[in-house]
Structure 1
Amino acid sequence: MPTSSDIAKLTLADDRCLIIAEVAQAHDGSLGTAHAYIDAIAKAGANAVKFQTHIASAESTPGEPWRVKFSPQDETRYEYWQRMEFTEAQWHGLKQHADEAGLWFLSSPFSSEAVELLSRVGVAAWKVASGEVGNLPMLRQMAKTQLPCILSTGMNPIEEIDTAVRTVREHDTEVAVLQCTTAYPCPPEKIGLNVLEQLRSRYECPVGLSDHSGTIYPSLAAATLHANILEVHVTFSRETFGPDVPASVTTTELAQLVEGVRFIETMIANPVNKDAMAKEMTPLRDLFGKSVVTRRDLAAGTILSPEHLTLKKPGNGIPAKRLPEIFNRKLKAAVAADTLLAEDDLE
């Protein structure tokens, strides 16, 4: 069963990417739906399932404004957060289900109380939302547990990321940093794939992409850039209800993403030597290549010219590139039309 130490072992040399599927609020407060997402994510082949742990009274004031007023059943944003809450026993059940499904269980806390709750439930690592990267007291609280901290940076300047990374490392805790742009959905010109190498060079830690484009393309591109971690929001359907649906991939697309990333990893791990590959392809070269062939029946002693010869498959005779060398050579014996000439046929 995967543990936090597995994530801690991520290094710059790793060739296998950790793929996190974020449920966030896609469950819409339904415990049964949250469990259904765990099964779907495991079936898709992702490594980790991630939720968000909201405790309205601990993280928000009743007057918190809506980012987008999307919910007809919640009068206020505060009431929405209340409806997204699960009890501690329910969180334990989700964690157990994730364990049984072979997934790392992650959930982003949004308050000190949520950190305490998740510490009791058990998470494989701390996934820190962009809005909490500057929350140093809570960041220290997480770092003190010695569980790896994965930082999203969707709304954070470099100076703030510097401080966050330094704060985590002050407690000898592993850190990973994800490029992210807080836009739902995020357009391609704001994905920022170039930032991955900047983060890797600056912090010398695992890096990755937390993508909100609602497509699989940025994650596939990031995989070609050796991203250590990929995170995407998931939804059962783009017709479902919720604020993150436009920025999510479907669980079917998640399976395609996982397949694509593993395909890319295999390509990267197996660089090709063209000469060695060509040698391996010799049987196919013989099949698909062209050889020097007679156009018609020719008598012995014929001095060969362009009107006598052409190029046809297969390619196991005199190679096509040698055609100019064959002109003005004499046939030793008569040959029929469509004969692949051999060196022994020529004087």
Structure 2
Amino acid sequence: MFSNNSSPLLIAEIGGNHEGNFDYALELTRLALKSGADAVKFQIYTGDTLVSSVESPDRNSHFKKFELSRDQHLALAKMVLDAGKFYVASVWDLTSLDWIHPYISFYKIGSGDLTAYPMIKAIVAKRKPILLSTGLATEDEVKKCVQYISDSDTFYKLPGNLAVLQCTSMYPITQGDANLHVMSRFQTLFNLPVGYSDHTEGSLALEVAVAMGAQILEFHFTDSREGKSFRDHRVSLTCEEVIELRAKIDSIQALKALMKKCPYQ
């Protein structure tokens, strides 16, 4: 799944940008498929399983508004798969794993779940490729999680079944806070495919990540950033911008290929 392809895997993260509106989720999915992204990603949770209504009633209410039903998630998954693309989800609820599993192309463990070992254990048991994000973790926590997954099943020692993403969990971040050099550190530590999950504005960080060897790019996706109050829209790319990004990636890869052929290195 995650390998040294000539072009990185592009993941359009719709996430919560549908804001709980299923018709809007369908439109965003249609646009993500049109953009040429390789995978379309969602987040599966319920407000009550994610945030305590007693401890944090406002956040609980927020996430409840962003919920989609089981049938709606399944309809979106089928739409993506029928288009010949990968359907991906961060699943934040153990009870949802069984019904979404047949549709999942690979699992994304989000930054907030990197130390959630009961969830990680359940995902590992599904024996599908795992993409691990690291935005809220220390290096030691990333090491322990990679080791845990690798030791749990030899499936994750096979090439392409486990990958690690550099991520900075703020919305938005400055270019400098992207910390793209961490990808090189991860490659040295783990000898696994590495990539970058973006929270900057625009596509420059994604382009530089490709030049630095990123094999996976994840970016938030929207139809437009205009007039949107939910924070994730601000760090999202549109359909046209993803098409432009793909063209820039092709140019970057062509330039890198020419460098390899240079006889004066």
Q: TM-score, normalised to structure 1's length?
A: 0.70
Identify if the C-alpha distance between structure 1 residues 82 and 254 changes in structure 2 by more than 3 Å, giving closer, same or farther.
same
**1:119-158 deviations in whole A, cap 9, x for unaligned?**
25x2111111100000011001101111111011111001
Q: Retained in 2: the 8 A contact 1:176–1:207?
A: yes
Deviation at 1:198, TM superposition (A): 0.6
Alignment correspondent of 2:251: 263
1:152 equivalent among 121, 133, 151: 133
Residue 233, structure 1, aligned to residue 220, structure 2: yes
The match for 1:215 is: 202
Higher relative contact order (CA 8 A, sep 6+): 2
Partner of 1:124: 105
CA–CA separation in structure 1 for the residues paired with 2:149 and 2:224: 37
Q: For residue 51 of structure 1, what is the aligned residue in structure 2? A: 42
Cα pair 2:50 2:60 within 8 Å, conserved: no
CA contact (8 A) 2:12 2:37 kept: yes
Q: How does 1:117-196 map to 2 (within 5 A)?
A: 117-120=99-102, 122-169=103-150, 170-172=152-154, 173=156, 174-196=161-183
Q: What's the counterpart of residue 235 of structure 2?
A: 247
Q: 1:273 to 1:176 in 2, by over 3 A?
A: closer
What corresponds to 1:99 in structure 2? 81
Which of 90, 112, 134 is matched with 1:108 structurally? 90
Amino acid at match of 2:77: K
Structure with the higher helix share, 1 or 2 = 2
Shift of 1:209: 0.3
Could you tell me how far 1:18 is from its partner in structure 2?
0.3
Contact 1:52 1:108 in 2 (8 A): yes
5+ residue gaps in structure 1?
A: 1-6, 66-74, 276-347
Q: Which runs of 5+ in 2 are unaligned?
A: none
Q: Which amino acid aligns with 1:198?
A: R
Distance 2:52 2:39 in 1: 31
Q: Per-residue CA shift, 1:259-313, capped at 9, x if unaligned?
A: 21122223323447578xxxxxxxxxxxxxxxxxxxxxxxxxxxxxxxxxxxxxx
SS in 1 for 2:231: coil
Residues 238 and 146 (structure 1 numbering): CA distance in 2 closer, same or farther, change over 3 Å?
same
Matched-pair identity in %: 27
Q: Structure 1 residues 273, 90: closer, same or farther in 2, change over 3 A?
A: closer
Between the aligned partners of 1:162 and 1:188, the Cα distance in structure 2 is: 25
Give, in angstroms, the shift of residue 258 of structure 1.
1.8
Name the structure 1 match of 2:52: 61
Paired positions, count: 256
What amino acid sits opposite 2:222 in the alignment? T
- Kindly report the root-mean-square deviation, in angstroms, between the aligned alpha carbons of the 2 structures: 1.8
Aligned to 1:343: none
Which amino acid letter does the alignment assign opposite residue 128 of structure 2? L
Partner of 1:292: none
1:84 counterpart (57, 66, 71): 66
Aligned counterpart in structure 1 of residue 22 of structure 2, from 31, 38, 53: 31
Larger radius of gyration: 1
Distance in 2 of aligned mates of 1:183 and 1:268:
31
CA distance in 2 between partners of 1:202 and 1:100 (Å):
37
Instruction: In structure 1, give the amino acid aligned to 2:117.
Output: L
